[in-house]
Chain A
Amino acid sequence: MTLSASLSATDITLRLRRTTILDQVDFTADPGEVTAIVGPNGSGKTTLLRVLTGEIAGQMAPGGQVRMGGLDVVDADPWVLARRRAVLAQQTALSFPFTVLEVVRLGAEGPGGAARALAALARVDLAHYGGRLYQELSGGEQQRVQLARVLAQLDEPVGPHGPRWLFLDEPVSALDIAHQLQVMEIAADFARRGGGVIAVMHDLNLTAMYARKVVLLQQGRCIGAGPTEEVLTDSLLSRAYGCDLRMGVAPGSGLFLLPQSAQIPHESSDLELRS
């Protein structure tokens, strides 16, 4: 993988008033694989994603840099970025009664847009939902419609300027297990076809299954970034989440599994607790 095709985040620090939300975060993600950002609640995962997508990149402390395949995200025009990356938010409220197809087409304009939108809807199993009103769908269905919109925006995983990037903020939290797997498969497929995927994840099992690389955050600091098996370790996870976690290997499939014990330790525990 050439360096220019990667997404690199250098020295990302973000302060909101007096609070430091992100503290000198550094990592590199490569196209062709899924990179997961994990960490406990409030560790800065979503904020980091919002910096990477450019949304609040301008608020970074000086010195920070995000480069997406040679493109400086901080200075890039929104429409230039929109052709190179798409973003699925945790939840998206819609203020007017658009139909499902109209929502997906917000991401797919111009000639061929309709076909792209329909194909994207078919990818998330909602091909026949095009005429339904978005606001009448369940939360999980809405989330899949938004994923379709995001897929339709990017079209192919690799564009004329190199790999495109898919940013997912807890893409599966509202979904049942079958659709969790479906959405992760779609993300993995996007990566297999040459695109880059960066996903904020809560479910460490799904992370272990699908992510090749993991960025582990704790209180705004990156305490581990690298190949999944090097970051999802007992000691790093226990330190990040402040409870006793152990990784295991499922015989046969080779998948990591979690947890052996997930009790919140007592004060007398030898684990270092961070509030």
Chain B
Amino acid sequence: MAAMTSAEGAPGAPSHARSDIGEVLHAGDRRQRARRLRLILVAVLLCCIAASLATGAAGTSLWAALWDGLRGQEVALSDRIVLWQIRLPRTLMGMGVGAALAVSGALMQGLFRNPLADPGIVGVSAGAGLGAIAAIVLGGLLPAALAVPLGIYTVPVAAFVGSWASTMLLYRVATRAGRTSVAVMLLAGIALGALTGAASGVLVYLADDNQLRDLTFWGMGSLAGATWTKVGAGMAIILPALIAAPFLARGLNALALGEAAAYHLGIRIQRVKNLAILAVAAATGAAVAMSGGIGFIGIVVPHLLRLASGPDHRDLLPNAALLGASLLLLADIISRVVIAPSELPIGIVTAILGGPFFLWILLRQRGVLDL
């Protein structure tokens, strides 16, 4: 305290004062810690990528192939196919889906000013699912003028529209005069999930045998179907959302004080909210279109990061992309290994890991949350 006042200009020991300011800054500002964490997360992600490329049902060894390639020897054709056509797209898809789910979770929590908001929990993923199912079942009915330019993007775009509509609806229902009620948000999410589930059921009932097969594969929540085409189509939607997210960080930080305070700080609130909803819808929609329902990444990742380095969205959003990608790759590796050579759907793995974690968050916060 005394040192602080001397820092304000009164004669005193300036060097002492400066070190005191440094201490206060150090204690109160966690951005440096967050940046160091980002380096660690990049390293972790690289390890996860390597592990994901090295793991699989086939006996292909990533390291042997790399070593052969480096020495100028020809890599066996089967190994090249396994690595290039199967494991690499699968790994990229895992990274994209994991990053998309984690970032949309963080964005949604910032938008709803609520650490429990998550696309999976409040029915946004279900809305995306309805869009994807509708595209698979009714896609043939699209007029050629629309179907041809959409092409491989039909399913992800439909999922995007579905998740956008459900996010908008949810926001309208749960938010009044800038305040979101947790209870209304969760209950509206349940209603939304039931509605989209029913509509999806009707569509599944209408589907023919081929479409049913597609739906089943898609619905299991798996990265197994990864192809370059699928990865390309999904990434084209996910990447813009991931790139846009950090630009919303300042606005979301200010929104943590409430809409009025954010406005007073100079934030164009409506624009931030619209963009955040759009980014959530794009990321969730494309992720769901690529890999079906994978839960809990969107709530676990931001929560862990807030514990580690604080809630500043400028760091939270990029770090969430990194940690989400790593976690999903890890879950995918587990799903490939535990019952090899068959695979456990990855949605089951994230649910087993994330479910208890979610309960733990609830236990920790039930005193704070005014449900």
What residues of chain A have their CB less than 8 Å away from a CB belonging to chain B?
Answer: 50, 53-55, 77-83, 85-87, 89, 92-103, 105-107, 109, 114-115, 118-119, 122, 127-128, 130-132, 135, 153
Q: Are B310 and A98 in touch, CB under 8 angstroms?
A: yes
A55: B residues at CB distance < 8 A: 260, 263-264
Q: Are A128 and B4 in touch, CB under 8 angstroms?
A: yes
Is B261 located at the chain interface by the 8 A CB criterion? yes
Complex Cα–Cα for A114 and B310 (A): 17
Q: How far is the CB of A8 from chain B (nearest CB, A)?
A: 20
Q: Are A79 and B28 in touch, CB under 8 angstroms?
A: no
Q: Which residue of A lies closest to B29 (CB)?
A: A101
Is B114 located at the chain interface by the 8 A CB criterion? yes
Question: Apart from A86-B264, A99-B30, what are 19 other A-B pairs with CB-CB below 8 Å?
Answer: A55-B264, A77-B268, A78-B268, A79-B266, A79-B267, A79-B268, A89-B261, A95-B256, A96-B311, A97-B310, A97-B311, A98-B310, A102-B28, A103-B257, A109-B250, A115-B21, A118-B4, A127-B4, A130-B29
List, sorted by A's number, 16 A–B pairs whose CB atoms are closer than 8 Å: A54-B263, A78-B266, A81-B264, A95-B113, A95-B114, A95-B256, A96-B115, A97-B311, A101-B28, A101-B29, A106-B254, A115-B21, A118-B4, A122-B4, A128-B4, A130-B25
Is B5 located at the chain interface by the 8 A CB criterion? yes
Q: Which residue of B lies closest to A93 (CB)?
A: B258
B1: A residues at CB distance < 8 A: 127-128
B265: A residues at CB distance < 8 A: 82, 106-107, 153
B260: A residues at CB distance < 8 A: 50, 55, 87, 89
A106: B residues at CB distance < 8 A: 253-254, 256-257, 265
Number of B residues near A (Cβ < 8 Å) is 36
Is B80 located at the chain interface by the 8 A CB criterion? no
Report B7-48 CB contacts with A as 1/0, cut-off 8 Å: 110000000000001001111111000000000000000000
Q: Are A118 and B21 in touch, CB under 8 angstroms?
A: yes
Complex Cα–Cα for A96 and B252 (A): 11
Q: Are A118 and B263 in touch, CB under 8 angstroms?
A: no
Report B241-278 CB contacts with A as 1/0, cut-off 8 Å: 00000000010011011101101111111000000000
A87: B residues at CB distance < 8 A: 260-261, 264
Which one of A77, A79, A105, A130 has the greatest number of beta carbons of chain B within 10 Å?
A130
Report B87-118 CB contacts with A as 1/0, cut-off 8 Å: 00000000000000000000000000111000
A86: B residues at CB distance < 8 A: 264
A78-B263 contact given A100-B28, A102-B312, A105-B29, CB 8 Å threshold: yes
The 6 closest A-B pairs by CB, nearest first: A131-B27, A101-B28, A82-B266, A130-B28, A96-B311, A79-B266
Complex Cα–Cα for A109 and B31 (A): 13
A82: B residues at CB distance < 8 A: 264-266
Complex Cα–Cα for A81 and B260 (A): 13
Q: How far is the CB of B309 from chain A (nearest CB, A)?
A: 11
B310: A residues at CB distance < 8 A: 97-99, 102
B267: A residues at CB distance < 8 A: 78-79
Give which listed residue, B24, B257, B266, contacts A94 with CB less than 8 A.
B257
B266: A residues at CB distance < 8 A: 78-83
Give which listed residue, A96, A109, A114, A128, contacts B25 with CB less than 8 A.
A114
Complex Cα–Cα for A115 and B17 (A): 12
Q: How far is the CB of A109 from chain B (nearest CB, A)?
A: 8
Q: Which residue of B lies closest to A135 (CB)?
A: B368
Q: Are B29 and A99 in touch, CB under 8 angstroms?
A: yes
Give which listed residue, B8, B256, B264, contacts A96 with CB less than 8 A.
B256
Complex Cα–Cα for A80 and B266 (A): 7
A96-B29 contact given A118-B21, A122-B8, A128-B24, CB 8 Å threshold: no
A100: B residues at CB distance < 8 A: 28
Q: Are B258 and A101 in touch, CB under 8 angstroms?
A: no
